[in-house]
Copies of this chain bind each other. A is one copy, B any other.
Amino acid sequence: MSTDYDPHASSLTGTTDEAVLAELYAIRGSIDNIDASLVYLLAERFKFTQRVGELKARHDLPPSDPGREAAQIARLHALARDADLEPEFAEKFLTFIIAEVIRHHRAIAEADAGQDGPADG
Protein backbone atom coordinates (compact mmCIF):
# COMPACT_ATOMS: atom_id res chain seq x y z
CA MET A 1 0.00 0.00 0.00
CA SER A 2 0.89 3.66 -0.18
CA THR A 3 3.61 4.51 2.33
CA ASP A 4 2.85 8.22 2.65
CA TYR A 5 0.43 7.73 5.54
CA ASP A 6 1.33 9.87 8.54
CA PRO A 7 0.15 8.08 11.72
CA HIS A 8 0.66 11.35 13.61
CA ALA A 9 -1.48 13.45 11.27
CA SER A 10 -3.56 15.63 13.55
CA SER A 11 -5.08 19.07 13.76
CA LEU A 12 -3.98 19.04 17.43
CA THR A 13 -0.24 19.25 16.67
CA GLY A 14 1.29 22.31 18.33
CA THR A 15 -1.82 23.00 20.39
CA THR A 16 -1.55 20.17 22.89
CA ASP A 17 0.91 18.89 25.46
CA GLU A 18 3.45 16.51 23.88
CA ALA A 19 2.90 13.77 26.47
CA VAL A 20 -0.84 13.80 25.83
CA LEU A 21 -0.25 13.66 22.07
CA ALA A 22 2.14 10.73 22.54
CA GLU A 23 -0.56 8.83 24.42
CA LEU A 24 -3.12 9.69 21.74
CA TYR A 25 -0.79 8.52 18.94
CA ALA A 26 -0.13 5.23 20.75
CA ILE A 27 -3.87 4.47 20.97
CA ARG A 28 -4.41 5.58 17.38
CA GLY A 29 -1.66 3.19 16.27
CA SER A 30 -3.72 0.31 17.67
CA ILE A 31 -6.88 1.64 16.00
CA ASP A 32 -4.98 1.82 12.69
CA ASN A 33 -3.84 -1.80 13.02
CA ILE A 34 -7.38 -2.93 13.73
CA ASP A 35 -8.69 -0.94 10.74
CA ALA A 36 -6.21 -2.65 8.41
CA SER A 37 -7.34 -6.05 9.76
CA LEU A 38 -10.98 -5.08 9.27
CA VAL A 39 -10.39 -4.04 5.65
CA TYR A 40 -8.64 -7.30 4.78
CA LEU A 41 -11.29 -9.41 6.54
CA LEU A 42 -14.10 -7.53 4.80
CA ALA A 43 -12.41 -8.05 1.43
CA GLU A 44 -12.22 -11.78 2.18
CA ARG A 45 -15.86 -11.86 3.27
CA PHE A 46 -16.98 -10.29 -0.01
CA LYS A 47 -15.03 -12.94 -1.92
CA PHE A 48 -17.08 -15.62 -0.15
CA THR A 49 -20.43 -13.88 -0.65
CA GLN A 50 -19.45 -13.43 -4.31
CA ARG A 51 -19.11 -17.24 -4.51
CA VAL A 52 -22.51 -17.64 -2.84
CA GLY A 53 -24.00 -15.25 -5.41
CA GLU A 54 -22.52 -17.24 -8.28
CA LEU A 55 -23.66 -20.57 -6.78
CA LYS A 56 -27.22 -19.28 -6.33
CA ALA A 57 -27.33 -17.83 -9.84
CA ARG A 58 -26.06 -21.14 -11.29
CA HIS A 59 -28.71 -23.20 -9.51
CA ASP A 60 -31.60 -20.72 -9.63
CA LEU A 61 -31.80 -20.48 -5.85
CA PRO A 62 -33.89 -17.69 -4.30
CA PRO A 63 -32.07 -14.45 -3.47
CA SER A 64 -32.82 -14.38 0.26
CA ASP A 65 -32.73 -17.11 2.90
CA PRO A 66 -34.76 -15.96 5.92
CA GLY A 67 -33.87 -19.06 7.96
CA ARG A 68 -30.17 -18.37 7.50
CA GLU A 69 -30.52 -14.67 8.25
CA ALA A 70 -32.40 -15.25 11.52
CA ALA A 71 -29.72 -17.71 12.67
CA GLN A 72 -26.95 -15.24 11.75
CA ILE A 73 -28.56 -12.42 13.72
CA ALA A 74 -29.08 -14.58 16.83
CA ARG A 75 -25.46 -15.77 16.62
CA LEU A 76 -24.09 -12.23 16.20
CA HIS A 77 -26.02 -11.12 19.29
CA ALA A 78 -24.44 -13.94 21.30
CA LEU A 79 -20.95 -13.20 19.92
CA ALA A 80 -21.35 -9.50 20.67
CA ARG A 81 -22.33 -10.20 24.28
CA ASP A 82 -19.21 -12.40 24.63
CA ALA A 83 -17.02 -9.70 23.09
CA ASP A 84 -18.54 -6.88 25.17
CA LEU A 85 -19.94 -5.16 22.11
CA GLU A 86 -23.53 -3.84 22.02
CA PRO A 87 -25.66 -6.59 20.41
CA GLU A 88 -27.76 -3.91 18.68
CA PHE A 89 -24.60 -2.55 17.08
CA ALA A 90 -23.54 -6.02 15.90
CA GLU A 91 -26.94 -6.40 14.25
CA LYS A 92 -26.71 -2.92 12.66
CA PHE A 93 -23.27 -3.89 11.40
CA LEU A 94 -24.54 -7.12 9.80
CA THR A 95 -27.41 -5.21 8.19
CA PHE A 96 -24.90 -2.68 6.81
CA ILE A 97 -22.75 -5.47 5.32
CA ILE A 98 -25.74 -7.36 3.89
CA ALA A 99 -26.93 -4.19 2.13
CA GLU A 100 -23.54 -4.08 0.40
CA VAL A 101 -23.74 -7.80 -0.44
CA ILE A 102 -27.14 -7.23 -2.06
CA ARG A 103 -25.69 -4.35 -4.08
CA HIS A 104 -22.89 -6.68 -5.28
CA HIS A 105 -25.34 -9.45 -6.12
CA ARG A 106 -27.50 -7.06 -8.12
CA ALA A 107 -24.40 -6.22 -10.15
CA ILE A 108 -23.72 -9.94 -10.73
CA ALA A 109 -27.33 -10.43 -11.77
CA GLU A 110 -27.25 -7.47 -14.17
CA ALA A 111 -24.10 -8.86 -15.76
CA ASP A 112 -25.98 -12.20 -15.92
CA ALA A 113 -28.69 -10.94 -18.33
CA GLY A 114 -31.11 -9.12 -16.06
CA GLN A 115 -32.19 -11.90 -13.72
CA ASP A 116 -32.96 -11.18 -10.03
CA GLY A 117 -29.89 -10.86 -7.85
CA PRO A 118 -29.27 -13.49 -5.19
CA ALA A 119 -28.63 -12.06 -1.72
CA ASP A 120 -26.84 -14.01 0.96
CA GLY A 121 -25.31 -11.98 3.75
A residues contacting B by CB (< 8 A) are 1-2, 5-7, 9-13, 16-17, 20, 23-24, 27-28, 30-32, 34-49, 51-52, 55-56, 59, 61-62, 65-68, 70-72, 74-76, 78-85, 89-90, 92-94, 96, 100, 120
Copies of this chain present: 2
- The interface residues of chain B lying within 8 Å CB-to-CB of A11 are 62, 65-68
| Docked-complex contact A16 and B61, CB < 8 angstroms | yes
Chain B residues within 8 Å of A89, by CB = 42, 100
Q: Do the beta carbons of A31 and B43 come within 8 Å of each other?
A: no
B42 touches A41 (CB 8 A): no
A51 to B111, alpha carbons, bound, how many Å? 46
Which residues from chain B contact A40 at a C-beta distance below 8 Å? 79, 83
Contact of A43 among B17, B84, B96 (CB under 8 A): B84
Central interface residue in A6, A41, A94, by most chain B CB within 10 Å? A41
